[in-house]
Structure 1
């Protein structure tokens, strides 16, 4: 659950785009959560069985598994599905982003990215803008983005991956000074209404989880949560509205993860045998 190269990289973009709750999204979440601790292999029947534990009919599960193989997340062998080794670094990066939620504090450094990509490479310009949004970057102006300074390494990796490093200059600052108050500028740089809607969607989805079924509850919890750490930059409290739902959603995710994760993995181990 992160970014990768080649086919895997394209698949991850699809994963971020896919709305939580779809069959393919849920199966990707199952693969990302459980295949590594299960040894990296699983039979198609066992994966379909786990999907049925989420209320997914077998036919739909098999279709989703075909999509995961097409995107390169799973490799097909004789009677076995194997997690693509090329996907493991991508999943590990995703783990760090999804589980280790970072929030800026007052005085933390920001990163500014200035990128001028030739008109002849408009496709590359679009890719860069899209991928920076998935890092939680805000758009200050055309060709200038801002994001938390602790994402420095991810920005460098992204620029290298897209081949755009030669077009970009990076700056670090703890004191951005727009013409308006910083909180007002932040409301222009990020789509705060869309971020609020994501947090409220997540909190609504959590309210209907059946916690007596840890495997299904935890898988759906992760599937609903996974988009937020990629799009919400974790702005410091003074730049957020007083009624911001993000703090509550982070606390809710961490509490339910602690409550459900071990039991969910135990269920997966027993189900796969």
Structure 2
């Protein structure tokens, strides 16, 4: 089986890649990871050791990572808050929701005293990241499927007391496509989708041509070099992708602009994910095992 494939290099920071690695390999199988493993993994992704150590220190200072002792070796794991975020993220990334015309909507309505203006800014930022569109001052809207995740996120941020959620139908007459374009920044979302497509448009075709269409056979017949290539490809792809299911809350396609690339981007991501995620994980776990045996 050939093992050569061009690996895209989207502009991603150490910290973004480290968070992806912990989300993938630090919760199951790998557990807490020593810095040496992170250095090996990031080296495969083209980053040097000093940059990795600096990024780990920053993530620890921010409360994203906690240090633990295991077998006399200093290791790092996701903090409880970060673990909750990653688990919540999986719900959006790996179980995408797409609304249908006539489906229900959730309204998030908040009122924050002028003396707590910083909380108002936090709420706007969080609701935007959760995929809500802004209808008016203090009134935000999204397909109803994102409600529970939004409630959990705001509660974890200490913002839930400022927000009331209402779920129901939207009964106004008129062009919903025009209204959605007013409530959401579709241009910014479209730019993110285009960026993903610029790097990974050919991902599924390239990997299907390389390993076939059966992930189990691909893994069974893979070489160490192929598994390393899959790791180098998959981790940045997932890191770039994971922003999109938040910014796109699953708006019905009928309400989006003609030629919207979201469905094609999803097809490419999930098809490639199915093929190469097991290969990438096998390489990552081999680095963990190597470190434990040293």
Aligned pair partner of 2:27 in 27, 32, 36: 36
For the structure 1 residues 116 and 94, does the alpha-carbon distance in structure 2 shift closer, same or farther, using more than 3 Å as the test? same
SS of the equivalent of 1:76 reads strand
Q: Show the counterpart of 2:101.
A: 106
Partners of 2:102 and 2:68 in 1: how far apart? Answer: 52
Aligned pair partner of 2:200 in 202, 206, 209: 206
Matches within 5 A, 1:1-273: 21-78=12-69, 79-86=73-80, 87-177=82-172, 180-207=174-201, 212=226, 213-273=229-289
Partners of 2:273 and 2:100 in 1: how far apart? Answer: 24
Give TM-score scaled by structure 1 length. Answer: 0.86
Instruction: Identify the range of structure 1 (30-39 vs 216-225) with the bigger mean alpha-carbon deviation.
Output: 30-39
The Cα RMSD (Å) is: 2.0
For the structure 1 residues 163 and 55, does the alpha-carbon distance in structure 2 shift closer, same or farther, using more than 3 Å as the test? closer
For the structure 1 residues 21 and 57, does the alpha-carbon distance in structure 2 shift closer, same or farther, using more than 3 Å as the test? same
For the structure 1 residues 168 and 195, does the alpha-carbon distance in structure 2 shift closer, same or farther, using more than 3 Å as the test? same
Structure 1 runs (4+) deviating above 6 angstroms are none
For the structure 1 residues 120 and 20, does the alpha-carbon distance in structure 2 shift closer, same or farther, using more than 3 Å as the test? farther
Q: 1:234-253 deviations in whole A, cap 9, x for unaligned?
A: 21011011200101111111
Q: Is the 8 A contact 2:126 2:154 kept in 1?
A: no
In the TM superposition, residue 264 of structure 1 has moved relative to its aligned partner by: 0.4
Instruction: Identify the range of structure 1 (134-143 vs 110-119) with the bigger mean alpha-carbon deviation.
Output: 110-119
Partners of 1:114 and 1:41 in 2: how far apart? Answer: 40
Aligned residues: 254
Instruction: Identify the range of structure 1 (229-238 vs 39-48) with the bigger mean alpha-carbon deviation.
Output: 39-48
SS of the equivalent of 1:238 reads helix
User: Greater Rg, structure 1 or structure 2?
Assistant: 2
SS of the equivalent of 2:166 reads strand
Partners of 2:65 and 2:165 in 1: how far apart? Answer: 36
For the structure 1 residues 61 and 163, does the alpha-carbon distance in structure 2 shift closer, same or farther, using more than 3 Å as the test? closer
Q: Is the 8 A contact 1:128 1:162 kept in 2?
A: no
For the structure 1 residues 241 and 91, does the alpha-carbon distance in structure 2 shift closer, same or farther, using more than 3 Å as the test? same
In the TM superposition, residue 223 of structure 1 has moved relative to its aligned partner by: 0.7
SS of the equivalent of 1:199 reads helix
Instruction: Identify the range of structure 1 (100-109 vs 153-162) with the bigger mean alpha-carbon deviation.
Output: 153-162
SS of the equivalent of 2:179 reads helix
In the TM superposition, residue 116 of structure 1 has moved relative to its aligned partner by: 1.6
Q: Is the 8 A contact 1:115 1:143 kept in 2?
A: yes
SS of the equivalent of 1:105 reads coil
The answer for unaligned runs of 5 or more in structure 1 is 1-18
Looking at both structures, which has the greater relative contact order when contacts are Cα pairs under 8 Å and sequence separation is at least 6? 2
Q: Is the 8 A contact 2:32 2:68 kept in 1?
A: no
Q: Is the 8 A contact 1:20 1:223 kept in 2?
A: no
Give TM-score scaled by structure 2 length. Answer: 0.80
Partners of 2:56 and 2:201 in 1: how far apart? Answer: 28
Q: 1:7-35 deviations in whole A, cap 9, x for unaligned?
A: xxxxxxxxxxxx96112211211111111
Partners of 2:64 and 2:18 in 1: how far apart? Answer: 11
